[in-house]
Amino acid sequence: MTETNDHATGAWHPDPHGRHELRWWDGQRWTEHVSDGGVTSTDAVDAAAPAGTTSAGPAPVQGAAPAGHILDLPVLVVSQKLKLIELTNEYSVFDQGGQQVGTVRQVGQSAMKKALRLVSSVDQFMTHTLEVTDASGAVVLVLTRPRKLVKSRLQVADGAGTPIGEIVQQNAIGKIRFSLEAGGQTIGSLNAENWRAWNFSIRDAQDQEVARITKTWEGLAKTLFTTADNYAVQIHRPLADPMRQLVVASALCVDTALKQDNRGFN
């Protein structure tokens, strides 16, 4: 495993109080956010830190997030290996240690639709539906990208099909930007840092970065994730629904659902 050194901007570290596997250090202090087996919860920080723990924060440690549920992990790795002719999109999702925690799979394609994809480049004019499943195969998110002409829109529902919100493209020129919308309100945004690169900042309604998508991140276990066919999603702190669900949806499907055209990110 690689060292977790991102103390200035926040990271998960072994709980210095010893009550949980991981506790969130926000760059200045230990917070109430904890994680056990990949499941996040809250536990108030004691007024007095245990011996050996200082306000300066944790020392660099060996370790990564434990295997857990796809919606709760602080780091996800998406394997976006492409087929020569890609008629059905399917990505595998791993935790930071290389254990598979989910899958993103396109569903509901007719034989005619597959035939059209085989002989033409009409993806952007078709409606695409993808299911996000956890390690057990249970559907946790359903993502539908209606046909588009210029801008993309992704409709997000839970595993039962109940609408959660939408991810809506805001511009067609320059650095691409999507708004995260729920209940008629904009609750965040997905922002490309330039028009071609695989670096994206996901921000909340207060314009604070809550997650990041990148092709190159030193925190990955290099023996497991060594090719450009993978990208990492770092979720900086625990999030409440629907923000949590929209962040995971946008991060997992930034290429397959939001950018299915010849301007895909490379």
Domain boundaries along the sequence of the chain: 3-62, 75-252
SS3 233: strand
Mean pLDDT of the chain: 75
What is the b/e burial string over 156-181, where b = at least 16 CB atoms within 10 angstroms of the residue's CB?
A: bbeeeeeebbbbbbeeeeeebbbbbb
Choose the weakest-confidence range: 25-39, 51-65, 194-208.
51-65
Q: How far is CA 177 from CA 213, 214, 244, in A?
A: 13, 16, 18
Confidence of residue 161 (pLDDT cuts 50, 70, 90): very high
N- to C-terminal Cα distance for the chain? 27
Beta strands in 110-176, from DSSP E residues, in sequence order: 128-134, 139-145, 153-158, 163-169
How far apart, in whole angstroms, are the C-alpha atoms of residue 199 and residue 201?
Answer: 7
What is the model's pTM? 0.68
Q: Domain 75-252: which topology?
A: Porin (2.40.160)
Give the residue from 159, 143, 112 showing the smallest Cα distance to 260.
143
Q: For 91-139, how does the pLDDT look when each residue is reduced to its tens digit (9 = 90+)?
A: 899 988 788 999 998 887 555 554 444 444 545 556 888 899 999 999 9
